[in-house]
Amino acid sequence: MEMVNHRKGVVAGELKIGIIPTLAPYLLPLFVKEFTTKYPEVRLVVNEMMTDIIVQRLREGKIDAGILVTPLMEQGIREDLLFYEELVVYVSKNNQAFEKQYVLAKDIDPNKLWLLEEGHCFRSQIMNLCELQKASKLGHHFEYEAGSIETLRRMVEINDGITILPELSTIDLPARQRQLIRQFRKPVPMRQVSLVVHRDFIKKKLLDILKREIIAAVPEKVKRNSAKNVVPVGV
């Protein structure tokens, strides 16, 4: 139920949101506190889910919206752009790419690349960017697929190698970790982040408010990113 009291300017209701794990730890802290303070009559219910689960639950009407990476090209699903997020390289000091100021995708040795586990759309984007195939076996003596961005970072720091991170996950890193970040050469690869709903979604006022608060909360650098080189989601 969405209720708007125009005379008093009160917005009330409930929004059930699904958000992908590679966005949740970095995006939610930017806007949730401000949102709940400004709109105390709105109940925000947020759950982390993989992209396919978000789409399924949108179709079933079990959630109102998803915050995820697009384009999805899913029939009956509407995508509302929030921002573009730069992809950056995170590299061990023992990797050749550490010596470079800017990195090309071809500079990344797939045998040294750490990936998220199957099911994460961010894994698919990295494989697209680095032109890897689903069947490819990476050459680590120790084979491991991470379940989170934080684990990817730690694997690079402790076990050497290289990975790719979304921009928001690097913003609060201390100097010791920031020195391991390298930018891609232009055109810089981006991921497109959108607010996604079923085409029959009716809580338009709440959705508009949520979108406005998210966009206002992201760093100015992220707001200035463009769509010049959006990496496809699917493999």
Domain with 205, as residue range(s), is: 2-84+192-223
Domain count, the chain: 2
Judgement on whether residues 42 and 108 belong to the same structural domain of the protein: no
Q: Does residue 229 lie within any of the structural domains?
A: no
In a domain, 219, yes or no: yes
Kindly report the pTM of this predicted structure: 0.87
Q: Is residue 231 included in any domain, yes or no?
A: no
The two tokens of residue 232 are: 């496809």
Instruction: Examine residue 154 and state whether it is found in any structural domain, yes or no.
Output: yes
The pLDDT of residue 146: 56
Tens digit of each residue's pLDDT (9 = 90 or more) over 8-53 = 567 889 999 999 999 999 999 999 999 999 999 999 999 999 999 9
Q: What is the CATH number of the domain that holds 19?
A: 3.40.190.10
Same domain, 80 and 112: no
Amino acid letter for position 176: R
* Residues 95 and 180 placed together within one structural domain of the fold: yes
